């Protein structure tokens, strides 16, 4: 008799379209089994061969919380590169390491938190106020820069295979979410439709439509009264109907409980769960043993029985979730999934370490360089004093949501490695990051007095800024303060800076922080200032290279440095009026887009293809950029636009294009930029996007223009065009 053939179920038949396979699997599942897959700790369904899966993993600036991994600069540092191609490369490397770690975990039958392929990154909330402790996780204050960095990060994480996803990117926290941290579980962010659509949503829209992110995470708070995790406006109308999103929505961790317990929008957990799912939230981050976190989606079975939700709505959510797992290759033989072949040896490989160093280099921003104090001549320095609480600190390099760097390099270690052999390096901590003790000041002053030059390494830490309740990135037993009340450096650090300055020695200030600081006194007195953020595992080496002129700083600020918290509206006010460079009417300490170089650049030969266009036309312009100095370096050309005759409130200026280019001395490159009708449009009082007739001005150069100035610097060229009726 012929051998009998075993008929495999359709959901395991890799020759069938993935949608048919998923539909077949759902038909075989009970209601209880379906609901079990809607929480982040999804158990196995053994009778159907569905493996257990934990949806929670992190990839903010490297694979997080899962042991050794390549640690790139914190997200705010990634944005400071203004280099979208580099960011896509970084994200691709992160996904490679995540894939390798995931498959190694499976080989050991480990399916716990932080081993999966669904990454809850990037954080693309707009950093509207520098007091927000989680602003360090974002790409800054500008919707366009955030969108461009975010789209490329998403593409890097998800890969370019036509059938399989390398990993799933999850832009968060959707939407209108940026503090206060202590109120995030109860807060109602009230925002106008104009601010919602012109500031808070554009980056999410770009990541979904252009980046094709397959997941999105909803926020804890309410927006205009609706819980973000159960918002028909955000999750159904905007996300699915307007943007055509076909992926799944995951709640922030514990946010479904907030609907009932904190926002008080329902009278029971069953109602909260049903409301969230019916509004479009497919997956609950809950039932997390590691964080003693309850969950509410298991109450969906009772909700179905009570008629609060029907099984077809459950099926829709489960279908979206299973589609993600199928597209990740979790139901296919590993040899058919190209990303399953990535070896564990890629994790923290030499190539990835070099990329971390290069990214750190490109993230550094030179804020001041009076009389060209930098770069320092290594051969002429007999002694260097390295002073400050962040100088010999490797934990601070990591920021938050990080993996463990195998060989992190502090600023002190980087200086020691690159200084001339006969140069004496003297280190003194001087003070703690936050504590008020002044016990080390005398020793630090003495070290400075005996040195040729002083490198002061100051700033913030996860203790001073972070997530509500955050212990990550802090010394044992220390919890982050969350949001900040002031933009100043802690008093002990400020006093140490002034004491060292009084020695009369040349001083370089290196800042390590995740948000803007009001260093007004230092900006006036200290001759050289370098912004390093939390620069990742290679941060100390990158800083040392810049200090000694082995590399040329080319980063630009993705946020405004204000002079005082007094320049800001109330923190709880989500109106964009007088916030960020787009609306701020005061004088900043350092402007969005600002950054210096060791060389000089010139802009010339500006050409515009049209000076009068119809409302549906784009504008194309070209400009020549030349390195006119004596050192190779990177220039970031920035294009800003202003609608001169708008009938409704619009930004005073807005970034519409940029490009980072590397130029050797005397090298010239022609750059081409395009201003689209969408970038010329405004949201009228009826909620329509329109391009109004009138005059538009634009500026292109190496920094943000001062629109109130009669004459711009030589490095900024200005033009205009008219949109006709």
Give the active site residues. 252
Tokens describing residue 389: 């609480």
Q: How far apart are CA 386 and CA 374, in angstroms?
A: 15
Strands 222-223 and 188-189: parallel
- Phi, psi torsion values for 696, nearest 5 degrees: -120, 140
Taking CA atoms, 168 is separated from 20, 54, 62, in Å, by 21, 13, 14
Q: Are 423 and 544 in contact (CB under 8 A)?
A: no
DSSP symbol at 233: I
Question: Kind of pairing, strands 612-613 and 424-428?
Answer: unpaired
Number of C-alpha atoms within 13 angstroms, CB side, residue 209?
A: 15
Three-state secondary-structure class, residue 687 = coil
Contact indicator for 357, 538 with CB cutoff of 8 Å: yes
User: Please, what is the angle between helix 202-209 and helix 143-158, to 10°?
Assistant: 30
Tell me the DSSP string of 607-671.
Answer: EES-SEE-TT--EEEEEEEEE-SSS-EEEEEEEEEEETT-SS---SSEEEEEEEEEE-TT-EEEE
3-state class of 498 per DSSP?
Answer: helix
Among the listed residues 584, 469, 486, the one whose alpha carbon sits nearest the alpha carbon of residue 182? 469
For residue 614, how many other CB atoms are within 10 A of its CB? 12
C-alpha distances out from residue 540 to 116, 171, 454, 637, Å: 31, 30, 16, 27
Report whether 95 contacts 61 (CB < 8 A): no
Contacts of 352 (CB under 8 A, 6+ apart): 70, 93, 97, 346
Task: Answer whether 538's CB lies under 8 Å from 409's CB.
Answer: yes
CB burial of residue 48 (10 Å; 0-12, 13-18, 19+): middle
| Three-class DSSP category at 567 | helix
Rounded to whole angstroms, the Cα distance separating 450 from 456 reads 15
Cβ contact 249:280 at 8 Å: yes
Write out the two tokens for 721.
């065009």
Instruction: Answer yes or no: are the C-beta atoms of 352 and 406 closer than 8 Å.
Output: no
Sign of CA dihedral 542, 548, 554, 559: positive
Task: Give me the residue label for tokens 């200030």.
Answer: 509
């Amino acid at each position: 008799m012929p051998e009998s053939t075993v008929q495999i179920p359709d959901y395991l038949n890799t020759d069938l379209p993935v949608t048919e396979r998923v539909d077949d699997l759902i038909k075989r599942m009970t209601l209880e089994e379906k609901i079990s897959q809607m929480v982040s700790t999804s158990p196995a369904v053994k009778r159907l061969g569905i493996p257990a899966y934990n949806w929670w993993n992190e990839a903010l600036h490297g694979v997080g919380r899962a042991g050794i991994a390549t640690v790139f600069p914190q997200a705010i540092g990634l944005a400071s590169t203004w280099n979208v191609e580099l960011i896509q490369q970084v994200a691709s490397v992160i996904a490679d390491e995540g894939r390798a770690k995931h498959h190694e975990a499976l080989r050991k039958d480990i399916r716990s938190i932080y081993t999966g392929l669904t990454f809850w990154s990037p954080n693309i909330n707009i950093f509207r106020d520098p007091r927000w402790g989680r602003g360090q996780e974002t790409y800054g204050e500008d919707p366009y820069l955030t969108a461009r960095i975010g789209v490329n990060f998403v593409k890097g994480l998800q890969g370019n295979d036509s059938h399989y996803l390398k990993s799933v990117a999850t832009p968060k926290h959707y939407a209108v979410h940026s503090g206060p941290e202590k109120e995030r579980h109860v807060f109602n962010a009230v925002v106008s439709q104009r601010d919602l659509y012109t500031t808070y949503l554009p980056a999410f829209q770009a990541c979904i439509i252009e980046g094709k992110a397959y997941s999105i995470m909803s926020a804890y708070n309410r927006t205009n009264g609706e819980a973000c995790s159960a918002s028909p406006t955000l999750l159904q109308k905007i996300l699915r109907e307007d943007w055509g999103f076909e992926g799944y929505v995951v709640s922030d961790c514990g946010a479904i409980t907030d609907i009932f317990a904190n926002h008080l929008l329902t009278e029971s957990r069953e109602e909260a769960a049903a409301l969230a799912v019916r509004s479009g939230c497919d997956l609950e981050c809950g039932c997390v043993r590691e964080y003693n976190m309850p969950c509410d989606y298991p109450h969906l079975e009772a909700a179905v029985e009570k008629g609060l939700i029907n099984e077809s709505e459950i099926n829709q959510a489960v279908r979206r979730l299973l589609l993600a797992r199928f597209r990740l290759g979790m139901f296919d033989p590993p040899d058919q999934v190209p990303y399953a072949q990535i070896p564990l040896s890629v994790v923290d490989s030499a190539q990835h370490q070099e990329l971390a160093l290069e990214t750190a280099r490109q993230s550094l921003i030179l804020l001041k360089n009076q009389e060209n104090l930098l770069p320092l001549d290594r051969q002429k320095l007999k002694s260097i004093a390295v002073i400050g609480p962040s100088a010999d600190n490797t934990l601070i390099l990591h920021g938050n949501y990080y993996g463990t760097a195998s060989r992190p390099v502090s600023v002190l270690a980087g200086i020691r490695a690159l200084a001339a052999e006969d140069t004496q390096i003297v280190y003194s901590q001087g003070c703690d990051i936050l504590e008020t003790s002044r016990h080390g000041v005398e020793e630090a002053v003495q070290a400075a007095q005996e040195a040729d030059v002083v490198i002061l390494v100051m700033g913030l830490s996860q203790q001073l800024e972070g997530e509500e309740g955050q212990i990550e990135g802090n010394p044992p037993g220390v919890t982050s303060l969350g949001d900040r009340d002031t933009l100043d450096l802690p008093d002990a650090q400020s006093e140490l800076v002034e004491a060292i300055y009084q020695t009369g020695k040349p001083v370089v200030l290196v800042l390590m922080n995740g948000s803007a600081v009001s260093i007004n006194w230092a900006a006036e007195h200290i001759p050289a200032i370098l912004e390093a953020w939390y620069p990742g595992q290679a941060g100390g080496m990158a800083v040392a290279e810049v200090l000694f002129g082995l590399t040329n700083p080319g980063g630009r600020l993705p946020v405004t440095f204000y002079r005082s918290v007094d320049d800001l509206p109330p923190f709880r006010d989500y109106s964009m009026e007088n916030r960020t460079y787009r609306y701020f009417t005061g004088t900043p300490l350092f402007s969005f887009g600002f950054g210096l170089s060791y060389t000089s650049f010139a802009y010339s030969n500006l050409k515009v293809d049209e000076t009068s266009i119809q409302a549906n036309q784009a504008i194309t312009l070209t400009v020549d950029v030349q390195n006119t100095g004596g050192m190779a370096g990177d220039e970031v050309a920035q294009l800003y636009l202003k609608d001169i005759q708008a009938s409704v409130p619009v930004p005073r200026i807005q970034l519409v294009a940029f490009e980072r280019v590397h130029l050797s001395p005397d090298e010239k490159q022609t750059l081409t930029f395009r201003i689209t009708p969408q970038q010329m449009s405004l949201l009228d009082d009826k909620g329509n996007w329109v391009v109004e007739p009138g005059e538009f001005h634009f500026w292109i150069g190496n920094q943000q223009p001062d629109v109130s100035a009669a004459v711009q610097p030589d490095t900024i060229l200005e033009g205009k065009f008219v949109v006709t009726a």
